[in-house]
Structure 1
Amino acid sequence: MPSTLTTKIFFVFVALCFSLVVSSQDEEQEDDIDIEINEQDFTRQRFASFNLGYNAPITTGENFMGDGLKGRGGMNFRFHLYPYKQFFVGVGLGQNYFKVKNKALVGNYQKTTLTEQYLYVGYEFLPAEKMRLGVSASLIGDAQFKNKYNLQSDNVSQTDHGRLASYGLYFNYEIGGNFMVFIDYSYKTSKTKINVPTELQSTFNRGTYHNIGFGLVFVMGTNDFLSRFLD
């Protein structure tokens, strides 16, 4: 099963972020009532953002994913919280779908669904007006492979687990004050716990793939966490 510690940390982080967002919204409403904001006061600083996107996974490497699976698409959700300036911490959820291209290597199943959850940190650059460039790396993450043998029945399946690592790069373009579009790239590895004969361990102990995505970003707040709560 996925790491109990990772799952607990994940849900604690989500709960904390939700409470901070609610608090942020309350403070913003109070500010709108009490303070007349001059147009020059608006900055490109953000408090938090939500990303919703589509994935195009591309398997790679001499391992069970690169040699045995082919990407078919997927989806992801990410939440950024900015503690200070453009530094951010976040939580990511995703699902990617693969079809089997080499049953002799991976086994006699039809397709697999890879479910991911991870915590990450990163930094965002502002190279030009309306443009944002971000880099990120995971701190901790879980991967779950659900391998389906019978396409007509969800009960005919087998599940493998692994430890996920993700390294990403993205580009955002600001459409409005609270709305952006993005394209991103990430390289992901899953160190698995699949039991195989010794001669196959080098093939199955790690899976790797590239991920290209695009989607929408919804942003809130114009102050980072420290500026909002500690000033």
Structure 2
Amino acid sequence: MTEPDQSIGRKILSFFIKDEDPNAAPATGSPAGPATNAAPRPAPGTQAPPGPATSAGPSKATGTATVPPGTIDTKFAEHFANVLAKNNPPGPDYFEFRETLRGLNAIGLPEDKQFQAAWASFKALGGPTDVSTLTNTANQYLAALNKDREGFSKSVEAALSERVGGLQNEEKRLQTENEALAKQILEIQQRINANTDRLRAISGEIDEQSAKINQNQQNYEATFAHFTDQIKNDIARMAQYLK
């Protein structure tokens, strides 16, 4: 945007957003009338985020929000003012009328008188005498803002698809991985339980087999002693009786 365009943008911004006390709460809700909405400012000691990149089309729908949801945001207010400045045709039109109307805001006239006085002043300053000029140009500015909103909505969808979609894919992947790990843990636990049961059974079997083996060994020794004792006795008797 050229310097003259920036100047127009700042001027247009002042028609819709007026400066407020830095310590005041940010304005919320829909506009209530000409130049009555205040732009929210960052708290003292903080830095406001940069405004939308108006030279590259509608502002991106990404970034860290610094104002509550549903609040008039300074960076977007500046962005809209610049959009309108780009679409400001030569010569007096709706915005010059609004500037005149804004100047009458503090006088205290009823709203209808303000509009009538602004219209008279607008014509006296060389503006068109046909009211349709005001409504037509105002509708052109609405069309420009709506076009910008369409672009912004597309950037929102793209941001959701890229960032939220990516996070959702990661979420699904991690859930699937956790389910697989949980299944493995269950299988491992089942194997541990089976091994524990087998260990208990083995302990009993060891005692049983040890007792059987010890009994067999004792029976073997007793039987061995029985046979050997008989043979030894026979040898002794043969030596005694067979001479």
Give TM-score scaled by structure 1 length: 0.18
Structure with more helix by fraction: 2
For the pair shown, the structure with the greater C-alpha radius of gyration is 2
Give TM-score scaled by structure 2 length: 0.17
Structure with more strand by fraction: 1
Higher relative contact order, chain-length normalized (CA < 8 Å, sep 6+): 1
